[in-house]
Amino acid sequence: MTSQAKTSGHSYGAYAWIIVALLFPVALLNYLDRQMLAAMKQSMVSDIPSISDKEHWGVVLASFKWVYAILSPVGGYVADRYSRRHVIVLSLFVWSLVTFATGFVHTYDQLVWTRALMGISEAFYIPAALALITDFHVGRTRSTAVSVHQAGIYSGLILGGLTGFVAEDPMLGWRTAFYCCGVVGILYSVPLMLFLRNSARAAERAPTDPLAALRELLTNRNFLLLVVYFTLPAIAGWVVKDWMPDILREKFNLKQGKAGLVSMFVHPASIMGAAIGGLLADYWMKKANRGRIFVSAIGMAMFLPALFSVGNASSFSVAVMGLVVFGLGWGFFDCNNMPILCQLTRPQLRATGYGIMNLVSISCGGFSDWGFGFLRDRNVPLNLIFGAFALVAAVSIGVVLLIRPQPQTETESRV
């Protein structure tokens, strides 16, 4: 290893974790608004009468995902080609403005448009953030660092689940939740701009032509398998995140606030799963080059009993237990996707690659949100829907085990 690499590696030691700490609140805010809609659905639908049925609400949820999905590769490429730092800060600022504006909507069309605009802002965040973290965390701390960042996502989902109580409060209401979150995001964008930095390796990245980048990624068998694997669990994952408060409210006759609170049990479990999965994956990588793949497959195996329990639960406690097991499995899965991608692609293509993964996965997630509302309007039983989800999860285990990553480079194994 050269002296320059040693210096760089040494300097990254403390600041590598500062990067994660700086991005944690951004991840929290990015996912807070998603769960806010799920938790405050009843209040928002009551206040916006042009949202007439579950299928319309599914379109509201899907409008965000489809725009987010389409623009994710663009956001990833911009982060690879230019400055990850500037992409992240601008994304947060736009997110904050759109969140604030959502508090002023009064029609179904206005809500669809604000969700679509939110998709634009968030499409530029996740690929850039995860790529920046993996720029600084090389080798033995990579999955652990990503798991801490993902804990910020789950924390946002937890706080979002509590906004059902805010919506029920006659002195506050659902609009107040959006106003406050927008202001917080605007304020935090200032210190983020001051203290966030790009990796020194960013200066070493040679520009990659977009068509050449696409060609390299789309002819990579292992990358294509990862795209499929990343997508299949999202079909169930987005329904669990977006619809579970409504499912629990209807199935167990809960109030909106309590339904949102109970539905968030999946997220503390995801934090625990990400922590365990990240540490286990980094440890397993010392023994085998497919360590992260094996840990992710274990997480996916947890989906099978979890989805069956949620879909067939006749008691409240069984449904909650299913959500907890689902959360644990999701944490194992979620903290290892970008680290696995790092084993399959060059650093110059990681944000772009993750953007393509988002394109396919979130597009399918949008259709699953719409499709779930469509099926529930037609009284299709939950056990049939979640049984299909479990079958898809079983297929995904076989897909991930087909991935054969590249051997670790000398630099990555040492740093």
Mean pLDDT by 10 residues, the chain (415 residues): 38 81 93 81 83 77 83 88 90 92 89 88 87 84 88 86 81 89 93 89 62 90 95 83 78 76 80 92 89 94 84 79 89 91 88 89 80 82 84 91 75 41
State which H helix or E strand residue 27 sits in: helix 3-39
Cβ atoms of residues 142 and 409 within 8 Å: no
> Which of 133, 353, 387 lies closest to 236 in space, CA to CA?
387
pLDDT value at residue 229: 95
pLDDT value at position 137? 87
Please write the tens of the pLDDT for every residue from 194-239: 999 988 765 555 556 788 888 999 999 999 999 999 999 888 887 8
Q: How far apart are CA 163 and CA 146, in angstroms?
A: 27
| Cα angle, residue 275 at apex, residues 413 and 188 outer, rounded to 5° | 95
DSSP state at residue 380: -
Distance spanning both ends of the chain, measured CA to CA: 9
Model-level pTM?
0.77
CATH superfamily placement of domain 12-199+208-406: MFS general substrate transporter like domains (1.20.1250.20)
How far apart, in Å, are the Cα atoms of 33 and each of 87, 181, 250, 373?
20, 8, 22, 20
Q: What token pair was written down for 228?
A: 């499929």
> Which CA distances in Å does 3 have to 30, 87, 137, 147?
39, 31, 18, 30
Q: What is the pLDDT of residue 409?
A: 47
- Between CA 7 and CA 295 the distance in angstroms is 32
Tell me 409's DSSP state.
P
Q: Count CB-CB contacts under 10 A for residue 237.
A: 21
Measure Cα distances from 127 to 159, 220, 228, 269 in Å: 23, 19, 17, 24
Burial class for 304, CB neighbours closer than 10 Å (0-12, 13-18, 19+): middle
Largest pairwise CA distance in the chain: 66
Q: How many CA atoms lie within 13 A of 76 on its CB side?
A: 28
What's the pLDDT score for residue 196? 92
Q: Which two three-digit tokens encode residue 160?
A: 């979002």
The predicted structure's pLDDT at residue 399: 95
